[in-house]
Protein backbone atom coordinates (compact mmCIF):
# COMPACT_ATOMS: atom_id res chain seq x y z
CA UNK A 1 0.00 0.00 0.00
CA UNK A 2 1.30 3.42 -0.91
CA UNK A 3 1.28 6.03 1.87
CA UNK A 4 1.13 9.78 1.33
CA UNK A 5 2.41 12.16 4.02
CA UNK A 6 -0.07 15.02 4.43
CA UNK A 7 1.42 16.92 7.31
CA UNK A 8 4.33 16.86 9.72
CA UNK A 9 4.30 17.77 13.37
CA UNK A 10 6.85 18.72 16.00
CA UNK A 11 4.40 17.89 18.75
CA UNK A 12 2.71 14.60 19.15
CA UNK A 13 -0.48 15.99 20.71
CA UNK A 14 -1.33 17.99 17.58
CA UNK A 15 -0.66 14.91 15.48
CA UNK A 16 -2.89 12.80 17.70
CA UNK A 17 -5.77 15.27 17.71
CA UNK A 18 -5.83 15.41 13.92
CA UNK A 19 -5.33 11.70 13.41
CA UNK A 20 -8.11 10.87 15.88
CA UNK A 21 -10.47 13.17 14.01
CA UNK A 22 -9.59 11.68 10.63
CA UNK A 23 -10.10 8.19 12.01
CA UNK A 24 -13.48 9.23 13.40
CA UNK A 25 -14.31 10.23 9.83
CA UNK A 26 -13.39 6.74 8.69
CA UNK A 27 -9.90 7.38 7.33
CA UNK A 28 -7.06 5.09 8.41
CA UNK A 29 -4.17 7.25 9.60
CA UNK A 30 -0.52 6.29 10.02
CA UNK A 31 1.69 8.37 12.31
CA UNK A 32 5.26 7.78 11.21
CA UNK A 33 8.28 8.37 13.45
CA UNK A 34 5.95 9.17 16.33
CA UNK A 35 7.91 7.27 18.95
CA UNK A 36 11.29 8.63 17.93
CA UNK A 37 10.05 12.21 18.21
CA UNK A 38 8.28 11.62 21.51
CA UNK A 39 11.19 9.84 23.15
CA UNK A 40 13.89 12.12 21.82
CA UNK A 41 12.70 15.59 20.72
CA UNK A 42 16.26 16.44 19.66
CA UNK A 43 15.81 14.03 16.76
CA UNK A 44 12.67 15.81 15.52
CA UNK A 45 14.54 18.05 13.12
CA UNK A 46 16.80 15.26 11.96
CA UNK A 47 13.98 12.98 10.87
CA UNK A 48 11.51 15.70 9.85
CA UNK A 49 8.97 15.43 12.66
CA UNK A 50 6.00 13.15 13.14
CA UNK A 51 4.44 12.42 9.77
CA UNK A 52 0.72 12.05 9.37
CA UNK A 53 0.20 9.74 6.43
CA UNK A 54 -2.81 8.10 4.77
CA UNK A 55 -3.24 5.57 2.01
CA UNK A 56 -3.03 7.03 -1.49
CA UNK A 57 -6.71 6.33 -2.12
CA UNK A 58 -7.73 8.34 1.00
CA UNK A 59 -5.53 11.32 0.18
CA UNK A 60 -8.17 13.55 -1.40
CA UNK A 61 -10.76 13.04 1.35
CA UNK A 62 -8.13 13.46 4.07
CA UNK A 63 -6.83 16.71 2.59
CA UNK A 64 -10.33 18.15 2.46
CA UNK A 65 -10.98 17.20 6.07
CA UNK A 66 -7.65 18.67 7.24
CA UNK A 67 -8.53 21.92 5.50
CA UNK A 68 -11.86 22.01 7.32
CA UNK A 69 -10.25 21.28 10.68
CA UNK A 70 -7.70 24.05 10.20
CA UNK A 71 -10.39 26.56 9.32
CA UNK A 72 -12.36 25.45 12.32
CA UNK A 73 -9.31 25.84 14.59
CA UNK A 74 -8.78 29.36 13.26
CA UNK A 75 -12.40 30.20 14.02
CA UNK A 76 -11.99 29.01 17.61
CA UNK A 77 -8.70 30.78 18.16
CA UNK A 78 -8.78 33.35 20.88
CA UNK A 79 -5.96 35.69 21.80
CA UNK A 80 -5.41 35.54 25.57
CA UNK A 81 -4.15 39.11 25.46
CA UNK A 82 -6.77 41.02 23.45
CA UNK A 83 -9.44 38.46 22.52
CA UNK A 84 -8.69 38.68 18.79
CA UNK A 85 -9.37 35.78 16.44
CA UNK A 86 -6.90 36.48 13.65
CA UNK A 87 -3.60 34.66 13.83
CA UNK A 88 -0.72 34.40 11.42
CA UNK A 89 1.57 31.40 11.45
CA UNK A 90 5.12 32.71 11.23
CA UNK A 91 8.58 31.25 11.41
CA UNK A 92 10.00 31.91 14.85
CA UNK A 93 12.70 34.52 14.56
CA UNK A 94 14.01 34.39 18.08
CA UNK A 95 13.88 30.84 19.41
CA UNK A 96 15.39 32.01 22.69
CA UNK A 97 12.68 34.53 23.52
CA UNK A 98 11.00 34.55 26.90
CA UNK A 99 7.61 33.43 25.61
CA UNK A 100 9.07 30.35 24.02
CA UNK A 101 11.02 29.67 27.19
CA UNK A 102 7.76 29.86 29.11
CA UNK A 103 5.95 27.52 26.74
CA UNK A 104 8.84 25.12 26.81
CA UNK A 105 8.67 25.15 30.59
CA UNK A 106 4.88 24.68 30.67
CA UNK A 107 4.94 21.90 28.11
CA UNK A 108 8.26 20.50 29.21
CA UNK A 109 6.97 16.97 28.77
CA UNK A 110 6.40 17.61 25.09
CA UNK A 111 8.68 18.13 22.16
CA UNK A 112 8.83 21.86 21.50
CA UNK A 113 11.05 22.60 18.57
CA UNK A 114 10.15 26.27 18.26
CA UNK A 115 10.17 26.61 14.52
CA UNK A 116 6.87 28.45 14.13
CA UNK A 117 4.78 30.93 16.06
CA UNK A 118 1.19 32.06 15.92
CA UNK A 119 0.99 35.83 16.13
CA UNK A 120 -2.16 37.78 16.93
CA UNK A 121 -2.81 40.25 14.11
CA UNK A 122 -4.47 42.69 16.50
CA UNK A 123 -1.96 43.01 19.33
CA UNK A 124 1.10 41.02 18.26
CA UNK A 125 0.77 38.39 21.00
CA UNK A 126 2.82 35.34 20.01
CA UNK A 127 2.26 31.73 20.93
CA UNK A 128 3.81 28.50 19.84
CA UNK A 129 0.42 26.80 19.95
CA UNK A 130 -2.74 28.12 18.36
CA UNK A 131 -4.40 29.82 21.35
CA UNK A 132 -7.83 28.20 21.25
CA UNK A 133 -10.32 29.07 23.94
CA UNK A 134 -8.19 27.90 26.81
CA UNK A 135 -9.25 26.53 30.12
CA UNK A 136 -6.45 27.91 32.29
CA UNK A 137 -4.71 25.65 34.79
CA UNK A 138 -7.19 22.80 34.48
CA UNK A 139 -4.55 20.45 33.22
CA UNK A 140 -2.35 20.90 36.24
Contacts (Cβ under 8 Å, ≥6 apart) of 75: 85
Residue number, 90 or 123, with CB nearest to Zn ion = 123
CA 7/CA 18 separation, integer angstroms:
10
Reference 26, options 52, 63, 58; nearest CA is: 58
Residue number, 60 or 86, with CB nearest to Zn ion = 86
Classify residue 93 by its DSSP letter.
S
* Residue 53 near Zn ion by CB under 5 A: no
Q: How far is the CB of 75 from Zn ion (least distance, A)?
A: 16
Q: How far is the CB of 65 from Zn ion (least distance, A)?
A: 29
Q: Which of 45, 60, 81, 116 binds Zn ion (CB under 5 A)?
A: 81
CA 84/CA 58 separation, integer angstroms:
35
* Residue 111 near Zn ion by CB under 5 A: no
Chain mean position to CA 27 = 19
CA 106/CA 95 separation, integer angstroms:
16
Q: How far is the CB of 123 from Zn ion (least distance, A)?
A: 3
* Residue 117 near Zn ion by CB under 5 A: no
- Counting residues that bind Zn ion (by CB under 5 A) gives 8
* Residue 60 near Zn ion by CB under 5 A: no
Please report, as ranges, the residues that interact with Zn ion according to CB under 5 A: 79, 81-82, 84, 120, 122-123, 125
Amino acid sequence: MELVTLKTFDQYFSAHILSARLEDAGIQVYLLDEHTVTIDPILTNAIGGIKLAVAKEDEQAARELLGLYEEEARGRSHCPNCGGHQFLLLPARKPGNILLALFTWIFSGFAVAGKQLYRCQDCGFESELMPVDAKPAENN
